[in-house]
Amino acid sequence: MDSNGLNFWMLNQQQDWPLPPAANTLYYCAKSSRLQLLSMRLGNPPVETFATASSLVETVPMTRDAFGNYARWDAGTLQVWAGGSGVGEVSIYTAPAGQAVTDLAMGYDGILYIAVGGTLVMVDRRGRWPNFTLTAAGFNFWRLAALPDGGVLAGAKDNSILAQGQSPDGVLLWDTKRLAAKCGFGPQ
């Protein structure tokens, strides 16, 4: 109900919406009995170039957890910053000098996965174990995706393969619980 005491479904006929003759942003659909706002571009469309697309692909995305907190990479300070729960941001990881972060993924298992300098760094945000860096010969970690059951899906920029049984498109699956148990820390 609006301020005049009318219910929204009372205004569903074409005569309820007298449109000006030159209305190019509104449209009344007789089939659905709804007034629709038409999409309209103001100005020129963005210029699409390979260089622009490549720079967007190389941008490190920020990540969010289930509570709406975020983590983002700051190339100027070589740090991963987190925020959202309180005032301001706090540094939660500093990359080694000369190594750039290429992706961040907050796992459903409470682990922040960071692809940095071709390695995978696991930062346990629940404090169960210290940061752990995973390296794999011949595989450069580049993009990450958290898996709902824990762990991360990692891809290499050059589509390389890490081990047998892997898909040929360069995708690698790590199970955090098994890896932590194998390395002697974290949940057993």
Domain limits, the chain? 8-37, 63-183
Per-residue model confidence (pLDDT) at position 170: 44
Strand partners, 94: 79
pLDDT per residue as tens digits for the range 114-167: 999 988 899 988 888 889 888 877 778 888 888 787 778 888 877 654 432 233
Does the pTM exceed 0.75? no
The CATH number assigned to the domain with range 63-183 reads 2.130.10.10
Evaluate if residue 109 carries a pLDDT over 60. yes
Sign of CA dihedral 73, 75, 79, 84: negative
Among 36-50, 105-119, 174-188, name the most confident range.
105-119
User: Residues near 125 by Cβ (< 8 Å), separated by ≥ 6?
Assistant: 65, 92, 106, 110, 111, 112
Averaged over 35-54, what is the pLDDT?
84
